[in-house]
Amino acid sequence: MKWFIYLYPKSWRRRYGDELMEVIKQTDTSFKTIIDLLLGIIDAWHIELSERKVYGFRLSQLLTLIGLINVLVISKLISLREAILLEQIALIVAMLSFFLAIVVLVVNMFKVGIISAFSTNTRLAKISVGLMGSYAVFFITFLVLAN
């Protein structure tokens, strides 16, 4: 269960990693503990992404803006046939992006090891994160088109 610590953001690990390591050593491995750690990972990344800035904007604001642009572009479509075709294309590109992101992550795990693969220090890890971002954008596009 110690490897759960490496799923937290780097800044979080620097501040709380030693404490969490001690807590994990003192607790037993149970389903509730694993769920609690996973929820903590999600919460820590949510806070990290909310505070991280790209070109002066928060990353969460950029993702919202990309989703809004998708909605505006899709709402300008003329016919239903075009919407169905774009929906299929968006789903195919999303699935392909997800598949490639997982493949790149697995290759990175074999190349640098499991712990280093989950950091963004390597080029393959950055490529995998970028592919997951494109997966999210195209999947949001698919969901908007499907509704």
The answer on 138 and 116 residing in a single domain is yes
Inter-CA distances, 28 with 6, 49, 76, 125, Å: 19, 31, 55, 32
The answer on 36 and 6 residing in a single domain is yes
Residue 126 has what pLDDT?
80
Residue 106 has what pLDDT?
83
Residue 50 has what pLDDT?
65
Residues 97, 99, 104, 106: is their CA dihedral positive or negative? positive
Say how far apart CA 97 and CA 124 lie, in whole Å.
Answer: 14
The answer on 64 and 44 residing in a single domain is no
Residue 79 has what pLDDT?
57
Residue 54 has what pLDDT?
56
Residue 103 has what pLDDT?
83
The answer on 115 and 61 residing in a single domain is yes
Residue 49 has what pLDDT?
67
Element holding 110 (H helix, E strand)? helix 80-112
What domain range includes position 108? Answer: 56-147
Residue 31 has what pLDDT?
82
Residue 51 has what pLDDT?
66
The answer on 62 and 47 residing in a single domain is no
The answer on 74 and 38 residing in a single domain is no
Tens-digit pLDDT profile for the chain (147 aa)?
Answer: 677 788 888 888 888 888 888 888 888 888 888 888 888 887 887 777 666 665 556 666 666 777 777 666 666 655 556 667 777 888 888 888 888 888 888 888 888 887 777 777 777 788 888 888 888 888 887 887 776
